[in-house]
Every structure is written in structure tokens, then in C-alpha cells.
């Protein structure tokens, strides 16, 4: 390959700059396997936890319940013991552990703890009623571990447990069977939890207390607010559509401003997608209410072509559009 490059350079087919770049690229043969190895480690932890569950299920009659619980508990305590012995002291700033396996051992310990608690409840019914309280203890534990060892994955598990404890848990089958009868309390709980998560994350960031956790809080908050508002829009009567739609636009405006401030394309994208779903629903609901069924197919065709084209154009040129709309001629520091 190098002989070919030299031959092309001697014939004048390669410029000196291009030849130098090809030579430099040929010498830099090393490349990073960081994310590939991290992915394999995460898959290994998940496969181990899943394999443990399969092993328990297939041999439950021969092993015995107490032996299974003891093994899971000892493995979980071993993971936590390793983390407390090898982990750095607590710091409100972001820090990384020295061992590359530390995060995965902590994740495995949390998964084993969930398996232990779930198996204990399933077999012995420790909690007879109010099952949502089962999510409270692992939620508190995972919040503590996430902040103690600076682990955003465990923080996501803690927030998920908090949502389950608050009652925000629904299966696809429940969604299919009884979506029209969705509880208004569930919707308002989602909105309230989204506001709480966003506020807590923002306050902690301002105090510089694990400020890098703010993205995780904001991510959950934005999705909760949009999904809850869309759910209210979908199940509301036609006369009550507008308040929910204006609420959706308000959340879009707040998320849009937040995306601009954080220079985050991710939050801009999800704000556009959620708002587009709500706008599409309101538009076609209005057409059906006006009995414009004859022209519905043609309007739907042009609507989707035009709206999708507009969204793609905006996403491709959002920096220039945002600069023209919000930036002053003398200052361009706040561009998205």
C-alpha cells in the first residue's frame, strides 16, 4: 500500500499534503476498543444476571429456596463489599474509579439485589399488600449508591424505582386493553414527578453537587412530562383537547429553550418529535370532527409529506435558523 502511495506521489497524482496525511495515517495503526469492551462487559453482566434467573427457575425444586436466597444474598454482598473496599471516597465532583470493572461489579450487585427482593417477595410474600412499597427500599439504596460511587446507570435505576413507587408502571397489555380508561391520577403523577425531577436536578447542578447527573434528571423529566401530557391529550374529550395541547406547547417551549441553553441537539429532537405527535393528533381529530372524511386521505398525504420535510429541513439547518432567530448581530455565543 505504501509503495502505491509513493508511486502516485512520484507521478504527481498525489499532492504533498495528501501524501503526508496518508503516511501519517499508515503509522497510526492503533485504535480504541473502549466502547466495544464496555458494551461486552455490560452484556456480560446482564447475561450473568439473566442466566442466574434461568438457573433458579430450572432447578428450584432440587436446590431449595433458602439455598437460592443465600447464594444471591452472598453474591450481592460480595459485590457491594468489593465496591466499598476499592471505591474512592465520596466527592460531590465527578470522579472515575481506578478499576475498569468497578462500575460493572456495582451494577451486578444492584441487579442481584433486585433478584433477591423479587424472589423473596414471590416465594414468601413478605409484603402482603401495598406492593408499590417494595420499590421504595431499592430506590433509596440505589440513590445512595449512585451518589456514593458516581454511577449514572444506578441513578437511572433509582429514578425508575421512584417512578414505580409513585405508581407510574404500566405494561403493554394494560395499555392495549384499557388505554381509554387510563387514570387521570397516573397522568398528574407523571407530570408532578417530571417537575420534581427537573427541579431537583437543576438545584443540585446549581449547588455543584454531582452536576453531571443533571442530564439524567432532565432526560427522565422531559420524557415524563411529554408522555403524561400526550396521554392527557389522547384521552380527553374533544372540548378539552385545547388545554392539553397548549400545555404540550408550553413544555415544548421550555424544552426548546433548555436545548438552546445547553446546546443539546438531543433535547431539541425529542421536543420536536413529541410535539409533532400531539400536533398530528389534534389536526386529524379536528378534521374528523368537521366531517371532512372525503378529503382526509389527500390531506393526510400532503400533511405528512410537508410536515416531515419541514422537520428534516429544520434539523439539518437548525444552527443557522436558530442563529437568525435568536442571536444578535454582535454576539453569537448562545447558538444551539
| Residue 236 forms part of a structural domain | no
**pLDDT tens digits along 1-32:** 556 767 777 777 777 777 777 776 655 556 56
Domain hosting residue 128, numbered range: 33-165
Q: By mean pLDDT, which of 61-70, 135-144, 271-280 is the weakest?
A: 61-70
| Residue 76 forms part of a structural domain | yes
Q: How far is CA 31 from CA 22, 25, 34, 68, in A?
A: 16, 11, 9, 43
Q: Residue 172 has what pLDDT? A: 47
| Residue 110 forms part of a structural domain | yes
In this predicted structure, the answer to whether residue 175 has a pLDDT above a threshold of 60 is no
| Residue 102 forms part of a structural domain | yes
Q: How far is CA 54 from CA 69, 115, 119, in A?
A: 14, 12, 13
| Residue 264 forms part of a structural domain | no
Cα–Cα distance measured from residue 293 to residue 272, given in angstroms and rounded to the nearest whole number: 27
| Residue 329 forms part of a structural domain | no
Q: Residue 222 has what pLDDT? A: 96
Q: Residue 129 has what pLDDT? A: 66
| Residue 80 forms part of a structural domain | yes
pTM assigned to the model: 0.79
Q: How many domains does the chain have?
A: 1
What is the DSSP secondary structure assignment for residue 123, as one 8-state letter? H
Contacts of 163 (CB under 8 A, 6+ apart): 169, 193, 220, 224
| Residue 287 forms part of a structural domain | no
Amino acid at each position: 500500500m505504501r509503495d502505491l502511495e509513493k508511486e502516485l506521489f512520484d507521478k504527481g497524482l498525489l499532492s504533498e499534503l495528501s501524501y503526508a496525511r496518508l503516511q501519517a495515517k499508515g503509522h497510526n495503526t492503533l485504535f480504541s476498543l473502549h466502547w466495544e469492551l464496555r458494551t461486552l462487559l455490560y452484556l456480560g453482566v446482564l447475561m450473568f444476571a439473566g442466566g442466574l434467573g434461568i438457573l433458579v427457575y430450572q432447578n428450584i425444586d432440587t436446590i431449595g429456596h433458602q439455598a437460592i436466597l443465600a447464594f444471591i444474598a452472598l453474591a450481592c454482598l460480595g459485590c457491594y463489599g468489593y465496591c466499598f473496599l476499592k471505591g474512592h471516597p465520596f466527592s460531590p465532583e465527578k470522579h472515575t474509579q481506578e478499576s475498569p470493572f468497578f462500575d460493572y461489579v456495582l451494577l451486578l450487585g444492584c441487579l442481584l439485589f433486585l433478584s433477591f427482593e423479587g424472589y423473596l417477595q414471590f416465594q414468601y410474600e413478605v409484603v402482603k399488600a401495598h406492593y408499590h412499597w417494595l420499590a421504595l427500599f431499592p430506590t433509596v439504596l440505589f440513590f445512595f449508591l449512585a451518589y456514593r460511587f458516581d454511577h449514572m446507570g444506578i441513578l437511572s435505576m433509582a429514578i425508575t424505582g421512584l417512578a414505580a413507587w409513585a405508581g407510574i408502571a404500566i405494561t403493554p397489555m394494560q395499555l392495549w386493553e384499557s388505554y381509554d380508561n387510563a387514570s387521570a391520577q397516573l397522568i398528574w403523577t407523571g407530570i408532578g414527578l417530571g417537575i420534581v425531577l427537573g427541579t431537583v436536578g437543576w438545584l443540585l447542578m446549581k449547588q455543584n453537587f454531582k452536576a453531571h447527573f443533571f442530564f439524567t434528571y432532565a432526560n427522565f423529566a422531559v420524557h415524563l412530562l411529554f408522555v403524561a401530557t400526550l396521554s392527557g391529550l389522547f384521552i380527553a374529550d374533544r372540548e378539552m383537547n385545547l388545554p392539553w395541547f397548549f400545555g404540550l406547547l408550553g413544555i415544548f417551549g421550555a424544552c426548546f429553550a433548555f436545548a438552546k441553553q445547553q446546546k443539546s441537539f438531543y433535547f431539541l429532537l425529542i421536543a420536536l418529535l413529541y410535539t409533532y405527535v400531539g400536533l398530528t393528533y389534534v389536526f386529524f381529530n379536528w378534521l374528523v370532527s368537521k366531517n371532512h372524511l372525503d378529503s382526509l386521505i389527500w390531506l393526510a398525504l400532503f400533511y405528512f409529506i410537508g410536515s416531515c420535510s419541514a422537520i428534516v429541513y429544520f434539523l439539518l439547518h437548525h444552527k443557522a435558523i436558530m442563529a437568525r432567530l435568536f442571536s444578535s448581530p454582535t454576539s453569537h455565543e448562545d447558538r444551539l
